[in-house]
Amino acid sequence: MTRKAAIIGGGVIGGGWAARFLLNGWNVSIFDPDPEAPRKVGEVLANARRALPSLSDGPMPTEGTITFAGTITEAVEGADYIQESVSERLDLKHRVFAQIQQVAPDTPIGSSTSGFKPSELQQHAANPATIFVAHPFNPVYLLPLAEVVPSAKSDPALIEAVKETLREIGMFPLHVRKEIDAHIADRFLEAVWREALWLVKDGIATTEEIDEAIRMGFGLRWGQMGLFETYRVAGGEAGMKHFMAQFGPCLTWPWTKLMDVPEFNDELVDLIAGQSDAQSGHHTIRELERIRDQNLIGFLRVLKERNWGAGKVLLDHDARRKAAMPAPVAGEGPMEMARMHVLPGWIDYNGHMTESRYLFAASETADAFLRHIGADLAYVGTGFSYYTAETHIMHLGEAKLGDALTGTVQVLHADEKRLHTFIRILKDGEAVATLEQMLLHVDMKAGKTCAAPEAILSRLMPIANAHQALAKPDAAGRHVGQRK
């Protein structure tokens, strides 16, 4: 059954939440009195549809449906989760919570607030136990972090369920154990922001120079190791104690103005805005968003390949989706074994999926079939495996960026030592490529073929026997250059 998320407030953050839920298969209902909200949310969704699938190595779920409600009551009726993302005014948030809890008193309500504590949000609420902070980071549809902040009045079981909901949509819920103004991450950002304002005001650096210092240096380190792990490495072999001993005295030096704030006046605003316009004014906001998203995708995919930092969250999300897929069965047709999306790195100079990626898609499909019959990584660890001896590929159609692909397997023949398969890579139900493969069961230590054990044959042979009733593919047995 498809679940429903209600989003109250359809600005940049609310739109990002809507995209995160929608693209993960939830139905979404949005309330925002701004008549421009459908257009603004639509533009966020367009960016998300272009970006989020590029982080997944499995199929995206079927997108949910999105509706724009005329009232808060209409938006939250029947919702399984509610996210409030209205302006940072406590009185406004209190009025929103009161309206929500008139019809949904027991539904979890997360607030996107970047500053208010949950105990402040819960004041005067009919059911304070369901209100908590779920503070995300822009773009919500790509960045996994959500600071989950409960108070003493929060329901612990509800908070745990909320954290699991966030994991299900690919986020990383950081449980903030003690409530504090601005939570954790924004306190760092505020400190850096104050220091940056002084550097610009005092003429030490421009907005562009400060951004270069971040993105060319410590920003790259922070993006994959954070603060303390970065400094641990900086301490060398002696570790964190050495770093603290070496740089601890600097804390007393007059380097920073963190406890002092520049006067916030028109002169400072014009100075910062003018330098920012000179730095980035040649790009529209939509262009900057797309540049940001593509850069984040590249960075996040590198972390994913290394199972590090935010990449672990992406790998876990892929694993959850794969686990939820129905088990393949040897029914009336070839077995569906893999689902994929064409990623940016799969595209050649013609704008189409490059040749090597058709082989990769076939390998993903074949590997899934081998796992299904028990020839998985654990089995390889025993010293035996299936090796590919021959592959014949036919390119029948074009696949482009973002296309959803399905890999199917038909067993043409199998015996103790050989596995002869026909793989189809499908787009919209039509083959864009077929691959015929011969695999041999191998004793890796001896370096020669050998009979597969009964544990594998007992799973393989019923499939092979069932597939004998299938029509032999026209392309099976073809040689290169053979006429149709």
- Number of other CB atoms surrounding residue 466 within 10 Å: 15
- CA–CA dist 374, 368 (Å, integer): 10
Q: What is the pLDDT of residue 471?
A: 92
Output phi, psi for 357, to 5 deg.
-80, -25
Q: Which of 239, 436, 183 is nearest to 334 (CA)?
A: 436
Q: What is the pLDDT of residue 204?
A: 95
| Together in a domain, 259 and 196 | yes
Angle of helix 37-51 versus helix 12-22 axis, rounded to 10: 50
Residue 482 is assigned to a structural domain of this protein: no
Pair of tokens at residue 454: 């009964």
| Together in a domain, 247 and 384 | no
Pair of tokens at residue 234: 């900086």
| Together in a domain, 227 and 155 | no
Pair of tokens at residue 476: 């099976």
Q: What is the pLDDT of residue 345?
A: 78
Residue 321 is assigned to a structural domain of this protein: no
Contact residues for 245 (Cβ-Cβ < 8 A; gap 6+): none
Among 213, 248, 282, residue at a domain's last position: 282
Residue 111's DSSP bridge partners are 84, 133
Residue 224 is assigned to a structural domain of this protein: yes
Residue 80 is assigned to a structural domain of this protein: yes
Residue 361 is assigned to a structural domain of this protein: yes
Among 115, 144, 175, residue at a domain's last position: 175
Q: What does each of the 484 residues of the chain score in pLDDT, given as a tens digit?
A: 789 999 999 999 999 999 999 999 999 999 999 999 999 999 999 999 989 988 887 778 889 999 999 999 999 999 999 999 999 999 999 999 999 999 999 999 999 999 899 999 999 999 999 999 999 999 999 999 999 999 999 999 999 999 999 999 999 999 999 999 999 999 989 889 999 999 999 999 999 999 999 988 888 888 888 888 888 888 888 878 877 787 777 666 666 666 777 788 888 888 888 888 888 889 888 888 888 888 888 889 889 888 988 899 999 898 888 777 767 776 678 999 988 888 877 888 888 899 899 999 999 999 999 999 999 989 999 999 999 999 999 999 999 988 889 999 999 999 999 999 999 999 999 999 999 999 999 999 999 999 999 999 999 999 999 999 999 999 998 888 887 7
Contact residues for 307 (Cβ-Cβ < 8 A; gap 6+): 315
| Together in a domain, 403 and 451 | yes
Per-residue DSSP letters for 349-413? TTSSB-HHHHHHHHHHHHHHHHHHTT-SHHHHTTTEEEEEEEEEEEE-S---TT-EEEEEEEEEE
- Cα R_g (the chain), whole angstroms: 27
Angle of helix 285-305 versus helix 310-324 axis, rounded to 10: 80
| Together in a domain, 142 and 261 | no
Pair of tokens at residue 381: 């660890």
CATH number at residue 262: 1.10.1040.10
Residue 379 is assigned to a structural domain of this protein: yes
| Together in a domain, 359 and 243 | no
Residue 392 is assigned to a structural domain of this protein: yes
For residue 124, how far is the Cα from the chain centroid?
Answer: 36
88 DSSP 8-state letter = S
Among 146, 175, 204, residue at a domain's last position: 175
| Together in a domain, 171 and 255 | no
**What is the helix (H) or strand (E) element at residue 136, kind and residue range?**
strand 131-136
Tell me: the pLDDT tens digits for 313-363?
999 898 888 777 767 776 678 999 988 888 877 888 888 899 899 999 999
Q: Strands across the sheet with 27-31, in order?
A: 66-68, 27-31, 4-8, 81-84, 109-111, 131-136, 145-149, 172-175
CATH number at residue 86: 3.40.50.720
| Together in a domain, 18 and 115 | yes
| Together in a domain, 267 and 341 | no
Tell me: the pLDDT tens digits for 255-309?
666 677 778 888 888 888 888 888 888 988 888 888 888 888 888 988 988 898 8
| Together in a domain, 48 and 156 | yes
Contact 129, 158 (CB under 8 A): yes
- CA–CA dist 82, 8 (Å, integer): 8
Contact 97, 130 (CB under 8 A): no
| Together in a domain, 161 and 194 | no
Residue 147's DSSP bridge partners are 135, 174
Q: Is the pTM of this model over 0.85?
A: no
**What is the helix (H) or strand (E) element at residue 148, kind and residue range?**
strand 145-149
Q: What is the pLDDT of residue 238?
A: 80
Overall number of domains in the chain: 3
- Show the domain range for 215: 185-282
| Together in a domain, 152 and 272 | no
Residue 484 is assigned to a structural domain of this protein: no
